[in-house]
Amino acid sequence: MRERLFSSRTVDEPSRIERAFYHVALIVACIALVTPFLYVISASLKESTSLFEYPPKLVPFPPYFGHYERLVSDSPFPRWMANTLFVATIVTVAKVFLDSLAGYAFAKLNFVGRNAFFLLMVAMLLVPYGAIILPLYAVVHAIGIHDTYFALILPPLCNPLGVFLMRQVISMLPKDLDNAARLDGVSEFGIYRRIILPLIKPSLVVVAVITFTEMFMSFIWPLVAVRDQDLQVLTVGVASMRNMTSVNFGLWSAAAVLGMVPLALAFFLFQRQFQARSIAGALKQ
């Protein structure tokens, strides 16, 4: 992608005015996109009372860390964060394993009902969570896992997107690879484990990034799935801070800032895979 961007553009070089336009558009967009974050960070470093001062201090000096201290030492926030990271990590690991397993079978094995079942999964690709929370809650209630970690971890495993992506990637690998191994007497699981998995590592990371991000952000299902205060995840907890007797805006802004940290960190580590997240949609064609 990058090579393409920077390679020879001798014939098709944008003119000076054109390039100026692109820069102006990007700078305007960046200012509009970044300023609100800075404003919230600034608000989180002020005492709640000085938030209402006019004119506002845009750069609070000296910064006040009281909200962060209270959030970390005297609020359920650390518990929310731990729950989110715990649930998201388990789901991500499980998804990467299960999706690649199924993707391998859909791409390389032949069995009765394969195409029908795959089509069924693809057809459900776009079903929104918001539309099925009610029966999903009934199912979870019926098997008795409501108000447990299982209610947060098991239902998200149903998402067919990872299976779909894995099948696309694995079916692009040459047939001779697995056929040769099969002739050598390697079991199907051995082929999956020792030949396919090492070859699709980059795509596994993409699926992991997609799953983790989605889990970190998910809200409506955790909201209805658990009532127990000890099981609340970050998003639900932060939203519930509004319902507390009086909204403490300072505390709230600090929670917002800390809530952004994990994914921002992950983004620095896996930049390329994150952008592939945007592009994964295009694969669906």
Partner 1 sequence: MADHRRLRRRWVLQRNLTGWAFVAPVGFFFVLFLLIPVLGVFWWSTQSGRLLGGNEFVGLDNFGRILTSIEASGALRTTVLFALFSVPAIIVIAMVLGMSLARVKRGATVYRFMVYFPVLVPPIVIGLIWVFLTHADFGLFNVVLRAVGAEPVNWLSTTNALPVVAAADIWRSVGYWAIFFLAAFLGLPRELYEAAHLDGANTIRRFWYVTLPGIRNILLLAVLMATIWALQVFEIVLVLTRGGPGTATRTAVYYVWWYVFGDGQVGLGAAISVLLLVVILAMSLAVVRLIRVRQA
List the interface residues with partner 1, window 53-92 (CB under 8 A).
54-56
Among 82, 180, 217, 244, binds partner 1 (CB under 8 A): 217
DSSP state of 61: S
Nearest distance in Å: CB 176, partner 1: 19
Assess contact for 226 and 151: CB atoms under 8 A. yes
- 238 to 267, contacts with partner 1 by CB under 8 A? 238-239, 242, 249, 252-253, 255-256, 259-260, 263-264, 267
Interface pick for partner 1 out of 82, 120, 180, 199 (rule CB under 8 A)? 120
The token pair at 112 is 């009765």
Backbone angles phi, psi at 276, to 5 degrees: -65, -25
Segment interacting with partner 1, rule: CB under 8 A, options 29-37, 64-72, 175-183, 199-207: 29-37
| Amino acid in position 63 | P
Helix axes 66-73, 77-108, angle to 10 degrees: 70
106 binds partner 1 per the rule CB under 8 A: yes
Task: Output Rg (C-alpha) for the chain, integer angstroms.
Answer: 24
**Cβ 158 to partner 1, closest distance in Å?**
4
CA distances from 39 to 28, 35, 65, 273 (A): 17, 6, 16, 29
Which of the 8 DSSP states describes residue 143? T
The correct pick among 83, 159, 232, 273 for binding partner 1 (CB under 8 A) is 159
Nearer Cβ to partner 1 (52/61): 52
Q: How many residues bind partner 1 (CB under 8 A)?
A: 103
